[in-house]
Amino acid sequence: MKSSLNALLTRLAPQIIALAVILLLNFIMFPQFFNVVIQNGRLYGSLIDVLNRGAPVALLAIGMTLVIATKGIDLSVGAVIAICGAVAASSIVSGHSLASTLLVTIGVGLLCGVWNGFLVALLNIQPIIATLVLMVAGRGIAQLVTEGVIMTFNDEGLIALGSGAFAFLPMPVIIWLVVGALVILLVRRTALGMLIEATGINRRASTLSGVRTPVLLMAVYMLSGLCASIAGIIVAADIKGADANNAGLWLELDAILAVVVGGNSLLGGRFSILGSLIGAMIIQAVNTGILLSGFPPEFNLIIKAVIVIVILVIQSPAVQSAAVVLSRRSSRVTEGQVQ
């Protein structure tokens, strides 16, 4: 048990260090960064803000991690956020109960996943193309649902999912922590994780070993749709309305980035959801830090890009193996040649 904890820490060390460095930079730029206060039964502060604002990307990153582990990618999650936000808003506005609204919304998210999974697993279309379909069409669908306007609502229950609090923490934080924990348990306490990794590394060999690879692929795209639908609910609840054009815009890219910053390979295989979640927090910490630092907003994206490049270069196989070669010369060199 102890050794597996050590292995986990070794695996996540670059992400944890990166997060710590970013937080430290934030603290240097903005000394009140770590200040946390309790108001109205809820924690407030920049740190809490990072956790809260990072919720949509964290949720997307959970599903995206598994999709990427199968050597796939899901570009549609941003659009699914818009669809699900629109569905939730129109359902609650037309008088359905909160429970049935949530059920329908999550159902729609799963359906989006089924569509992607169908294209990828059964029709064998390349994931980047297959999910591009829904990425493009999704916003149109969302606009049809909202009939082209920003559909606002004032259902207390639904709004609470975006801005409420529980156990001093904002609701979105609770939600992504719980979903993350549940999915980690699901893939690691069952054999799903290993079968997903096997499929991502060598789909043919996995099929030949009796792994039901189409079912697995379908399942990961459905899970990605599910995560996107939850993120969609949070995004809509946060602004008390559904904005078909802007909800979740470009978030698929942030989610992919979170997965990569989390140390997961886009080539599939070994994955760490925890790594992706830390990756999501790194991205949000950068975003929040830039906002707090008072740089002109034009710089935000450039600064973010620079930070991401630095993180990725440090993680890159070339730099990593150079570091390893320096520490353990002979044994690693031969491995490198095998590849």
Interface residues with another protein (CB under 8 A)? 189-192, 194-195, 197-198, 201-202, 204-212, 216, 269-270, 334-335, 337-339
How far is Cα 174 from Cα 179, in angstroms, rounded to an integer? 9
Percentages helix, strand, coil for the chain (3-state, rounded to 5) are 75, 5, 20
Which residue's CB is nearer to another protein, number 212 or number 304? 212
How far is Cα 83 from Cα 144, in angstroms, rounded to an integer? 9
Which residue's CB is nearer to another protein, number 52 or number 206? 206
Which residue's CB is nearer to another protein, number 327 or number 337? 337
CB 125 within 8 A of CB 76: no
Q: How far is the CB of 323 from another protein (least distance, A)?
A: 19
Please identify which residue in the block is written with the tokens 């050590």: 6
Which residue's CB is nearer to another protein, number 146 or number 206? 206
Which residue's CB is nearer to another protein, number 52 or number 272? 272
How far is Cα 2 from Cα 166, in angstroms, rounded to an integer? 32
Which residue's CB is nearer to another protein, number 300 or number 321? 321
CB 297 within 8 A of CB 303: no
Q: How far is the CB of 197 from another protein (least distance, A)?
A: 6
Considering only CA atoms, which of 257, 254, 255, 251 is closest in space to residue 309? 257
Q: How far is the CB of 339 from another protein (least distance, A)?
A: 8
Q: How far is the CB of 201 from another protein (least distance, A)?
A: 5
Q: Which residues contact 268 (CB under 8 A, 6 or more apart)?
A: 68, 69, 70, 71, 72, 200, 201
Q: How far is the CB of 186 from another protein (least distance, A)?
A: 10
The residue ranges of DSSP E strands in the chain, in sequence order, are 37-39, 42-44, 151-152, 165-166, 169-170, 241-242
CB 73 within 8 A of CB 256: yes
CB 248 within 8 A of CB 82: yes
Q: How far is the CB of 10 from another protein (least distance, A)?
A: 13
DSSP calls for 170-189: EHHHHHHHHHHHHHHHHHHH
Q: How far is the CB of 210 from another protein (least distance, A)?
A: 4
Which residue's CB is nearer to another protein, number 191 or number 253? 191
CB 77 within 8 A of CB 227: yes
Task: Count, in order, helices (H) and strands (E) of the chain.
Answer: 16, 6
Q: How far is the CB of 252 from another protein (least distance, A)?
A: 26
Which residue's CB is nearer to another protein, number 56 or number 72? 72
Q: How far is the CB of 198 from another protein (least distance, A)?
A: 5
How far is Cα 90 from Cα 290, in angstroms, rounded to an integer? 35
Which residue's CB is nearer to another protein, number 240 or number 270? 270
